[in-house]
Structure 1
Amino acid sequence: MKLYNLKDHHEEVNFAYAIKLGLGKKQGLFFPKKLPKFNSQELQELTQMDFINRSANILSHFISDEISLQNLKIQVKNAFSFTPPILHMVEKNIACLELFHGPTLAFKDFGARFMANMLSYWNDQDDSMTILTATSGDTGAAVAHAFYCMNNIRVVILFPKGKISRLQEKLFCTLGKNIHTIAIDGSFDDCQSLVKQAFNDKKLRKKIGLNSANSINISRLLAQICYYFEAFALIPHHQQENIVISVPCGNFGNLTAGLLAKAIGLPIKSFIAATNSNDTIPRYLKNGIWAPYKTMSTISNAMDISQPNNWPRVEELFSKQKWNLKSLGYGSVSDQETIHTLKKLHHIGYISEPHAAIAYQLLKKQLSPQDFGLFLGTAHPTKFQNTIEKILNIKLKLPKSLEKRANLPNFSHHMKPNFLKLKNFLLQL
């Protein structure tokens, strides 16, 4: 599989190298030079497979020249060794695709664990690597658990201090060993800026074997394509013609994966890019002006991102496919509207959390009567226990994976958003 750098098209790498490198020159994102395409017969064959075999077959069409299907199936089985996505009907023509039944109760488990398994498969055991990543909530836990106790791999996770939920923090700040977490005084964008500065430092990058497990890493995106095909297989056949998918968006990796699924043959009618009050993309799609505001803290904290890193991939895909960007649905939802939607969902019998509620709210507004609507459930409601219990006036029971970490000591460091301090920290590991 050949990938090119969006900021320097002359830089081309294969999939294995792209995983290890993370970003290309000038901090450019890697993008597939050529996309596979499934015809209707191949799509029908895929839908009849189970999740593991289907996922391995889809991924093999991207990277079959670098790994055999047999070996890829082993890696996929190891990565996706948890409950597959669940389709939960919420209304007659609206369902939630629940992606939060993995070890850290978030959709990020799919991408992070696939990346970890593929890195382990290709990485020379004598090579030392440092994974540096920023999280606005769920990425941190997924990456930490995916790489926990892996030989020769150190993980450093930056997160905005006081701006993720207590239980989100407990999931990845209580591990220790090769997992190092740093609470940064600032926003997610400040954390991501530090990551970018680290990648710009060529000497540092080489000395510590720097890599990133954010959705900027192409392996994360390819893994996420798989659950869109699973969703299609789960939807009743008579409702597969007019599917509209609403995606809660932060760094826009999840939406990028969905659009890639459509590009390679999944017959999705349209997508909705759903954001909270950090609405850079909805405003850009409306008026064509790129004008990020200062990031605001909301109750949907994983979406508190004003400068989404994956947006260049979205624009590149629309350009390559000759799609009109105006065909992409969009919208933003305030905290007040989110609270109202959470109550509305609870009233009709579904307990959700803020991110999925935003996707549902915009889907409900934009869905035509003949369409089948799907909104993505990206995190388990209990990860936002205090918020949900207060809004809905209910008591949530914690899943075992959260319960056993809820009272463990926090091993996090604390730092101002200062690159020199971060650099010294990385060099001393």
Structure 2
Amino acid sequence: MLLTNIKVASEQVSFLQAVRQGLGQQQGLFFPTSWPKLDIEQLLNLDFIPRSSQILHALIGDELSYAEVEAMVAAAFNFPAPLMPISENLHCLELFHGPTLAFKDFGARFMAQALAKAQQGKKTTIVTATSGDTGAAVAHAFYRQPGVNVVILFPKGKISPLQEKLFTTLGENITALAVDGDFDQCQALVKQVFDQTELVQKLNINSANSINISRLFAQICYYFEAVAQVPASERKQLVFAVPSGNFGNLTAGLIAKALGLPIKRLLAATNNNDTVPRYWRSGQWQPKPTVATLSNAMDVSAPNNWPRVEALLAQGVIQRSDIATVAIDEDDTKLGIKQLAQAGYTSEPHAAVAFKALKRNVQQDELGIFLATAHPAKFKEQVENILGTPLSLPEALSRCAAEQSLSVNIAADFAALQQVLLGLDLA
């Protein structure tokens, strides 16, 4: 299956070429223009690995054999995504059981497998920005992978200390850059890198943000896993609430619906960085300066995946009525954490945003599923302050908490970033 550059329709590439390139000409995103027909009922009767393998092979096409895709999926998705009941018509899809305790493990680990197929022995430099969880997931997915250097930009002082420790303490082929700015500035620097054709070719530069199609495709699979855990008799009225920052997660859910998964609608739940909810109401795309919130991984004012949502709407496979948008403020986020605790469930700010959006929107005859994108212990201080009770650290966090950060401070300046990139060991 060929993928088309959303901005430059004449640029069409294969899956592995899109994985290698990351972005197309004019910083355009690669995306399918048509979608495979799937036997949804048959898929929902399968286990997670064989189901995901069938979905991804159908999306990728014959460039990779089914056996190759299945091996990639088995290596990447070696942890569960359980659906946890909260109340009679509300469930939580836990996506934080991977090695870095965040949903990004699904996409990053599958991308690592895909890039190993795509790079054909060439040394690759991955340059990516993180608003919280991407950094750790990408760093761990590619840590010590031969032929790969990883450079991660993050907004200094604007992600949780434990999120930061998960990727700034690794060293070796992982370089962490603490940028004096916000996430949107980090993302802009990454995009600037891709405009430098000579630099991109010299270092064979790629990106591991959700702009990379391999990460996006991987995320589709856990929507199917969620629905597979719902009794068949209750699958007619499913509403998903998705904590939304860069909008890759929502896009994956919309693709799942376009492929035939029985989702009634999806709620794009943002925090105070509410560009999309305002746009959905007014039709005016007007990003404001990014503001810091409790749900810091969603502190994004110009979400990079939004053009893919527009593409799905333009293709006619998703209707405007399939999407609802809602912004949840800080007080409601805290309230969500408290309400979930009262229901016997310990959560964190991002899931709380989705939970509150769902509470506002789900109807009595509907079954609501909100996505928990990170382990609450990654936001230990915030959750403890809100609930007034101590949280214990899982082993993955307690192991890195005491280690020294190896991050390097840089200005939000392209020349500073270029100097770091040119100084990498390319042997």
* TM-score normalised according to structure 2 size: 0.98
Q: Distance in 1 between matches of 2:192 and 2:389?
A: 44
Please name the residue that 1:376 is paired with. 371
Q: Distance in 2 between matches of 1:322 and 1:88?
A: 30
After TM superposition, give the deviation of residue 64 of structure 1 in Å.
Answer: 3.1
Q: What SS does the corresponding residue of 1:374 show, helix, strand or coil? A: strand
The range that moved more, 317-326 or 417-426, is 317-326
Please name the residue that 1:64 is paired with. 61
Residues 168-202 of structure 1: CA distance to partner in whole angstroms, max 9, x if unpaired? 00000000000000000110000001001100011
Q: Is the 8 A contact 1:274 1:332 kept in 2?
A: yes
Please name the residue that 1:391 is paired with. 386
Is 1:47 the counterpart of 2:38 in the alignment?
no
Please name the residue that 2:282 is paired with. 287
Is 1:103 the counterpart of 2:92 in the alignment?
no
Q: Distance in 1 between matches of 2:231 and 2:2?
A: 36
- Which residue type is aligned with residue 409 of structure 1? Q
- Which residue type is aligned with residue 4 of structure 1? T
- Which residue type is aligned with residue 290 of structure 1? W
Residues 360-393 of structure 1: CA distance to partner in whole angstroms, max 9, x if unpaired? 1011111110000000000000000000011101
Q: Distance in 1 between matches of 2:372 and 2:191?
A: 29
After TM superposition, give the deviation of residue 326 of structure 1 in Å.
Answer: 4.6
Q: Distance in 2 between matches of 1:403 and 1:207?
A: 39
Please name the residue that 1:116 is paired with. 112
Q: What SS does the corresponding residue of 2:384 show, helix, strand or coil? A: helix
Is 1:88 the counterpart of 2:84 in the alignment?
yes
Q: Distance in 1 between matches of 2:337 and 2:395?
A: 24
Question: What are the within-5 Å matches in structure 2 for residues 130-141 of structure 1?
Answer: 130-141=125-136
After TM superposition, give the deviation of residue 128 of structure 1 in Å.
Answer: 1.0
Q: Is the 8 A contact 1:242 1:268 kept in 2?
A: yes
- Which residue type is aligned with residue 36 of structure 1? P
Question: What are the within-5 Å matches in structure 2 for residues 267-416 of structure 1?
Answer: 267-321=262-316, 323-416=318-411
Is 1:199 the counterpart of 2:194 in the alignment?
yes
Please name the residue that 2:160 is paired with. 165
Q: Is the 8 A contact 2:2 2:15 kept in 1?
A: yes
The range that moved more, 348-357 or 315-324, is 315-324
Q: What SS does the corresponding residue of 1:19 show, helix, strand or coil? A: helix
Q: Distance in 1 between matches of 2:370 and 2:130?
A: 22
Residues 59-83 of structure 1: CA distance to partner in whole angstroms, max 9, x if unpaired? 110123111111111111011122x
Q: Is the 8 A contact 2:265 2:321 kept in 1?
A: no
Q: Distance in 2 between matches of 1:114 and 1:10?
A: 28
Give RMSD over aligned pairs: 0.8
After TM superposition, give the deviation of residue 344 of structure 1 in Å.
Answer: 1.1
The range that moved more, 144-153 or 29-38, is 29-38
Q: 2:215 aligns with which of 206, 210, 220?
A: 220
Number of residue equivalences:
424
Is 1:426 the counterpart of 2:418 in the alignment?
no
Please name the residue that 1:75 is paired with. 72
Q: Is the 8 A contact 1:2 1:34 kept in 2?
A: no
Where does structure 1 lack aligned partners over 5 or more consecutive residues? none
Q: Is the 8 A contact 2:168 2:407 kept in 1?
A: yes
Q: Is the 8 A contact 1:4 1:11 kept in 2?
A: yes
Where does structure 2 lack aligned partners over 5 or more consecutive residues? none
- Which residue type is aligned with residue 237 of structure 2? N
* TM-score normalised according to structure 1 size: 0.98
After TM superposition, give the deviation of residue 322 of structure 1 in Å.
Answer: 5.3
- Which residue type is aligned with residue 178 of structure 1? N
Q: Distance in 1 between matches of 2:405 and 2:267?
A: 37
After TM superposition, give the deviation of residue 323 of structure 1 in Å.
Answer: 3.8
Question: What are the within-5 Å matches in structure 2 for residues 229-244 of structure 1?
Answer: 229-244=224-239
Residues 72-95 of structure 1: CA distance to partner in whole angstroms, max 9, x if unpaired? 11111011122x101000010100
After TM superposition, give the deviation of residue 248 of structure 1 in Å.
Answer: 0.2
Q: Distance in 2 between matches of 1:20 and 1:312?
A: 20
Is 1:27 the counterpart of 2:27 in the alignment?
yes
Q: What SS does the corresponding residue of 1:329 show, helix, strand or coil? A: strand
Please name the residue that 1:143 is paired with. 138
Change in Cα spacing, 1:110 to 1:322, as seen in structure 2 (3 Å) is closer
Q: What SS does the corresponding residue of 2:260 show, helix, strand or coil? A: coil
Residues 197-239 of structure 1: CA distance to partner in whole angstroms, max 9, x if unpaired? 1000111111110100000000001000000000010012221
Q: Is the 8 A contact 2:258 2:317 kept in 1?
A: no
Q: Is the 8 A contact 2:109 2:137 kept in 1?
A: yes
Q: Distance in 1 between matches of 2:49 and 2:275?
A: 36
Q: What SS does the corresponding residue of 1:81 show, helix, strand or coil? A: coil
Q: Distance in 2 between matches of 1:123 and 1:328?
A: 37
Change in Cα spacing, 1:99 to 1:426, as seen in structure 2 (3 Å) is same
Q: Distance in 2 between matches of 1:87 and 1:81?
A: 17
Q: Is the 8 A contact 1:6 1:29 kept in 2?
A: yes
